[in-house]
Structure 1
Amino acid sequence: MFYLLPTGKGYNLTYRSPKDSDGPPLIEHDLPKFSHVVVVGGDVKCRFNLVPIFQSIIQTHLLVVAFAKDINPQTLVGLLSGNTNLILALGSKQNILTSLAPEFGLILPPPNTNLVSHFPEREDPISTVPISPPREEQSKIPLTSTINAKSPISFSGMSFALSNNPRLFPILSAPEESFAGDIDLTSNALADAVEKGGEGLWAGSKMAVAAGFQAKGGARVVWLGGSSLLSNRSPNHHFANDVAAWAFQETNVLRIDSASHKLVKGVGASGNGRIGQPQEQYTVGDEIEFTVRISKYNPKFKVWEACHSLTDLQLEFTMLDPHIRIGLPPSPGRDGKREKGVYRTTFKAPDRHGVFKFIVDYRRSGWTELKFTETIPVVPKRHDGYERWLSSAWPYYAGAISTSVGFVVFAAVWLGSADERGKGKKKAE
């Protein structure tokens, strides 16, 4: 079974069966006791009393449970609030997971409804549906080993539709020719559903059999339509490994190592001495450079490596109004040396003084959210920061100069004519 796979990664495993009431609690003193929890609903063919508990020096724990008495929606939500990652496998029957799923944006079909497909022709029952994995560029999470296996995934369970919750995304979609139906009913069930339309028909690739959800706190949840996706049979075990790696924060994990800003071009004579240095405040019109370093976790070597693959990172410099949003591209490097994991951009401080914020808010489905904020004041220009001559003021300059020149000419003419009048009077006398 899938439950034996994580032991090779250093997880400390603990199993609980539905009748195991003396097992360790999920939450104790309002704190989760486990880093990762797998809850399997429905019929699970596994004898828990024969499975050993694996010990490890790594302080990460994995708890595999079926439905015990203390397992309820409130407990699972409490685990999620405590940043515990969850893998939840639904069953075809009503249980606590089917009542919890709508809170995450999952839309479930009627009870006792499995995914059914008559195509392609095969010896397996129609409720065992082969599903091809998505292409690598279409997948929200890394499914490298699943795609490299080049074999369809065998699925048996229920499908579900997804709401428009921005934190919910499909991992594995149902085939286009599949539909949700009761396999015990006659073949007229599909025709009746088509005639009803609307909620009566559950068919097509818009349904999902595996979906991911990432909470605001960073915890991850994987919803599965059935425990068959966790089978140790090939190629399902490749899919189980890939999904578990994402759910347990091994893949698509990013972090901000550092962020800095400095002055590139100052305003006025006082700004020249501040170039190239981080500032506690900037002046209106200053040219500012912002730099951030981002790393990505490598689960193979268990180290953090520089991440240079983000092409849609953005920087915001905001004070409600004005609000500047510009791209934060990977840095090409300086002096011919490439800077891995460095993202840099340059912009000019707006012509408005006040308290601004540098904000980096990266949210993408399947990736760790990146959040950075720093407050910085922008002050008005000093007395030497203004230009002496403004091109837009030339009409006023011309008016003042022409008035002055006209006054001088008028005064010269008037004074000159006054002397001539005085000489004329003397001659007349």
Structure 2
Amino acid sequence: MLRLFIFSIGLFLFTCVWSSTLNIEGSSKRLLVLLDNLGIRESHAFYFKQLKDRGFEVTFKSSDDSSLQIVKYGEYVYDHIIIFAPSTKEFGGRLDAEILTQFVDAGGNVLIAGSNTIGDVIREFAGECGIEFADDKSSVIDHLNFDVNDDGQHTLIVANPNNLLSSELIIGQAKKNNLPFLFRGTGMSSDPDNPLLIDVLTASSTSYTANPNEKTLSEYPATVGKRTLLISVLQARNNARVGFVGSVDFFSNDFFQSSVQANNGKKYDKSGNQELAMALTDWLFKQRGVLRARNIHHYLKDDKTTPRFYTVKNDIVFNVQFDEFVHGKWMPFNGTDVQLEFVRIDPFVRTTLNNKGGQLDVQFRIPDTYGIFKFVIDYNRIGYTHLYSATQVGFYSININIIFETMIKRKQTDKFTWF
């Protein structure tokens, strides 16, 4: 009876751990949107409508809802979370920074938008990701790059598209469109020692983050110049993605549709907010930039067979199929910079794979060194999920090969003299 009880507990724990891991692709679209003001559903209706048009199953909840939970019966109820509740001090239910961190560890994706007031939960979670928001009541200020509709504090800034990250996977056509962005919110800074963080949009060199109600600066600003982050993203080691935007207004109907007129006189019929917001969301929620490797094969060049073991100086061929997930479909990957390493502790061969419609292959000669080797692909590029593949094989010297073949033929019945 005791054994049965222990087995049942073990099976329950295994089921919880197993089921609490989310898929890393973008095929599942269960989305939770947390709001500190339900009026945001109307003020940001265009953004949410485009999410629904993209097939997301959107669930709206108040951030202080006492029934709020993202795990039920050991399984995650949602694949993605949007938090447009910057001022919420404590979230309802059991949601806190630790739970959000566990959600990301399980492969979930999160988008957080801030304002000039940031709650403790968001601050703590951002800190876990290497992002620090400026103090409460602080806003990004730019006395040289603001919109004519600004209220006089120069906090409705006009962000230059030249300050965008150069990666179409993350920003779409926002940089090519060359439309400025409207931004009203707080600034952020990132941990320079965190290699997983990517700065997407920075403020201009004349900007800083401080309290706009203070006529004179009593202390050094929280951020200055292009070190002022407006948008930053993180791709974790398990390929989960987290985005931080310092302005919840960035996604609003007004900012999507508004014309832009900078104080220097330049006028634009529309801001670039909508293009950037949707491209960023697509990337964060794995609608693009997801890779997979399949159909890995290696064989002798001459007879195209895969022996039980290779010998040194054999000419071999390695091929693999690479696919990219784009808006619900797996498409052939067209990258031409994928490399293969032939590794025994250190790489003995490093070569670029030839890409023919997603089918990558290369041929090379095995070096004159026997042992246990691996075919290793370690593809890590900005905007794409990190793809690592290792296939282990054995290689022998020619003399050892002859001895093994002889043993096999004689079925190990004769006596051998070993040299």
TM-score scaled by structure 2? 0.73
Query: Is 1:223 the equivalent of 2:251?
Result: no
Amino acid at match of 1:347: F
- Corresponding residue to 1:317 among 342, 347, 350: 342
User: What is the aligned-residue identity percentage?
Assistant: 21
Could you report, residue by residue, the CA deviation over 1:92-119 in whole angstroms, capped at 9, with x for unpaired residues?
3241111221211113333332111011
**1:154-233 to 2 correspondences below 5 Å:** 154-163=182-191, 164-189=193-218, 193=220, 202-232=223-253, 233=256
Which structure has greater strand proportion? Answer: 2
Cα shift at 1:41 = 2.8
TM-score scaled by structure 1? 0.72
Structure 1 352/211 Cα, relative in aligned 2: closer, same or farther at 3 Å? same
Equivalent-residue separation in structure 2 for 1:4 and 1:324 (angstroms): 53
Amino acid at match of 1:218: N
Equivalent-residue separation in structure 2 for 1:4 and 1:384 (angstroms): 66
Could you tell me whether the CA contact under 8 Å between 2:98 and 2:125 is conserved in 1? no
Query: Is 1:21 the equivalent of 2:66?
Result: yes
Amino acid at match of 2:360: Y
How many residues are matched? 336
Residue 118 of structure 1: aligned partner:
143
Equivalent-residue separation in structure 1 for 2:146 and 2:400 (angstroms): 83
SS of corresponding position for 1:382: helix
Tell me, which stretches of 5 or more residues in structure 1 are unaligned?
45-65, 194-199, 266-274, 332-338, 386-429
Tell me, which stretches of 5 or more residues in structure 2 are unaligned?
1-43, 258-270, 403-419
Moved more, 289-298 or 343-352: 343-352
Equivalent-residue separation in structure 2 for 1:156 and 1:109 (angstroms): 14
**1:67-86 to 2 correspondences below 5 Å:** 67-86=91-110
Amino acid at match of 2:83: V
SS of corresponding position for 1:38: strand
Equivalent-residue separation in structure 1 for 2:401 and 2:393 (angstroms): 22
Could you report, residue by residue, the CA deviation over 1:56-95 in whole angstroms, capped at 9, with x for unpaired residues?
xxxxxxxxxx943432111101211221111112333241
Residue 240 of structure 1: aligned partner:
277
Equivalent-residue separation in structure 2 for 1:238 and 1:229 (angstroms): 11
Structure 1 174/121 Cα, relative in aligned 2: closer, same or farther at 3 Å? closer
- Corresponding residue to 1:347 among 336, 346, 364: 364
Amino acid at match of 1:146: A
Residue 8 of structure 1: aligned partner:
53
Could you report, residue by residue, the CA deviation over 1:204-251 in whole angstroms, capped at 9, with x for unpaired residues?
113321111112222211111121222232332222211110011111
Residue 331 of structure 2: aligned partner:
305
CA RMSD across the alignment: 2.6
Cα shift at 1:182 = 0.9
Could you tell me whether the CA contact under 8 Å between 2:147 and 2:157 is conserved in 1? no
Equivalent-residue separation in structure 2 for 1:327 and 1:309 (angstroms): 15
Query: Is 1:40 the equivalent of 2:84?
Result: yes
SS of corresponding position for 1:75: helix
Equivalent-residue separation in structure 1 for 2:137 and 2:93 (angstroms): 23
Query: Is 1:381 the equivalent of 2:401?
Result: no
- Corresponding residue to 2:130 among 87, 105, 120: 105
Could you tell me whether the CA contact under 8 Å between 1:296 and 1:305 is conserved in 2? yes
Residue 270 of structure 1: aligned partner:
none
**1:123-138 to 2 correspondences below 5 Å:** 123=148, 124-125=150-151, 126-134=154-162, 138=166
Cα shift at 1:42 = 2.7
Equivalent-residue separation in structure 2 for 1:364 and 1:353 (angstroms): 32
Equivalent-residue separation in structure 2 for 1:130 and 1:384 (angstroms): 70
Residue 59 of structure 1: aligned partner:
none
Cα shift at 1:366 = 1.9
Equivalent-residue separation in structure 2 for 1:136 and 1:116 (angstroms): 18
Amino acid at match of 1:32: Y
SS of corresponding position for 2:377: strand
Amino acid at match of 2:60: Y
Equivalent-residue separation in structure 1 for 2:230 and 2:132 (angstroms): 12
Could you tell me whether the CA contact under 8 Å between 1:308 and 1:342 is conserved in 2? no
Could you tell me whether the CA contact under 8 Å between 2:340 and 2:353 is conserved in 1? no
Structure 1 296/154 Cα, relative in aligned 2: closer, same or farther at 3 Å? same
**1:320-339 to 2 correspondences below 5 Å:** 320=345, 322-331=346-355, 339=356
Structure 1 149/100 Cα, relative in aligned 2: closer, same or farther at 3 Å? same
Query: Is 1:92 the equivalent of 2:109?
Result: no
Structure 1 150/140 Cα, relative in aligned 2: closer, same or farther at 3 Å? closer
Equivalent-residue separation in structure 2 for 1:94 and 1:147 (angstroms): 29
